[in-house]
Amino acid sequence: MGEAEATTVTMWSEGEAEFMRRALEVAERGQGRVSPNPPVGCVLVKDGVAIAEGWHDHLGGLHAEQMAIHDAEARGVPTNGATAYVTLEPCNHFGRTPPCTESLLWAGIQRVVVAHPDPNPNVRGRGTDVLREAGLEVEVGLLRSEAAMQMRSFLHWCHQRRPWVTVKVAVDANGSVDDRSDVAGRFTSEGCLDEVHRLRQRCDAILVGSETVLRDNPSLTVRRVEHARQPIRVVLDGRGRIEQQATVLTDGGATMHLTGDVDLERLLDQLGDQEMQRLLVEGGPSTVHRFLEAGLVDEVLLVRSTVEHADPVPSGLDDDAFRSAGLEQHEPQAWGEERVDVWLRA
């Protein structure tokens, strides 16, 4: 069955949408902790009341459905006849955990409402088929696009076998990325920096060019987040200009230091082969332009500061550049005191 056909034509009530919204909300707790799996959430409902919830919390941990069933059992609440709202089609394979389809059957669940089908070739279609064959009611597609947004890097990787590419760049009020009159420094708020670290935590790899290493000597690690997993760092240094003492090369973390001509498409293939599902490109402008011009950017997060640089460095990273790279603008976000423009592949 194709994925598009997999959506059931059903009218769900606002109350049902609320249960799925809650499932998406608890799924969020696994963001940055379950890669290469997607974040998944589950809410069990009986007689119109939520009786348990679960989420895929960390890689190797229980899947969302199994955690929700455990949650109910631990509190002595019977699950017979309940409806499960799950953000992803339940799996039907033995992987790091036994199949969720079996847990749902065993728990006596009567109806399963799924937000998004699972494009994982190990799972595709079989999860819902097996449940239907066992006599459960199964519906697919409630808040599907919200779920697709939440697990976009997983879905992208399943289809392309390459990481989803997010560009993050900060500009001043005039679109400048740096102030030549100043030592390299931050020009955004503390609250914004917290968000940057949360973003890094959700990425499997962080890439910069040699200019950024020479100017800022960054560490590109995740800080400000508890139990952070460190993404690998990728430095494009075609001309071999980075000194051996650079922090990214000496602090003991994992870094791919690429000297010589780097074919970006091949690089994405290689990262995809290593199950890296999200790559964060953190600048500077020439590196970002390379990705944009090659049509390899899936998402841009443009942090807009109200500061004005005295000796600006124009970036050319404007609406035209993003539009011609095939991106379209979405609702902005707020990171601390800064507004963040969001662009996504159309």
Catalytic (active-site) positions? 65
Q: Which of 6, 24, 37, 327 binds ligand AOF (CB under 6 A)?
A: 37
Contacts of the segment 327-334: beta carbons below 8 A, 24+ positions apart: 327/297, 327/299, 327/300, 333/301
Strand partners, 53: 43
Question: Is residue 118 close enough to count as binding ligand AOF by CB under 6 A?
Answer: yes
The candidate with the shortest Cα–Cα distance to 253, out of 279, 224, 222, is 222
Subset of residues 73 to 92 that bind ligand AOF, contact rule: CB under 6 A: 88, 90-91
Residue closer to Zn ion by CB (options 94, 274) is: 94
Which window, 63-71, 203-211, 260-268, 278-286, contacts ligand AOF (CB under 6 A)? 63-71
Containing H/E element for 51?
strand 49-55
Strand partners, 112: 84, 138
Q: Which does 64 bind (CB under 5 to 8 A by kind): ligand AOF, Zn ion, none?
A: ligand AOF
Question: Is residue 112 close enough to count as binding ligand AOF by CB under 6 A?
Answer: no
Q: Which does 37 bind (CB under 5 to 8 A by kind): ligand AOF, Zn ion, none?
A: ligand AOF
Question: Is residue 103 close enough to count as binding ligand AOF by CB under 6 A?
Answer: no
Question: Is residue 131 close enough to count as binding ligand AOF by CB under 6 A?
Answer: no
- Alpha-carbon distance 235 to 247, whole Å? 12
Q: Which residues contact 260 (CB under 8 A, 6 or more apart)?
A: 238, 240
Closest chain position to ligand AOF (CB): 95
Residue closer to Zn ion by CB (options 38, 284) is: 38
* CB count in 10 Å sphere of residue 224: 14
**What are 177's two structure tokens?**
């990325």
Buried/exposed code over 42-56 (b: 16+ C-beta within 10 A; e: otherwise) = bbbbbeeebbbbbbb
Q: Which of 65, 204, 282, 338 binds ligand AOF (CB under 6 A)?
A: 65
Binding site for Zn ion (CB under 5 A): 63, 91, 100
Residue closer to Zn ion by CB (options 41, 209) is: 41
Binding interface with ligand AOF (CB under 6 A): 37-38, 40, 56, 63-65, 88, 90-91, 95-97, 100, 118, 120, 123
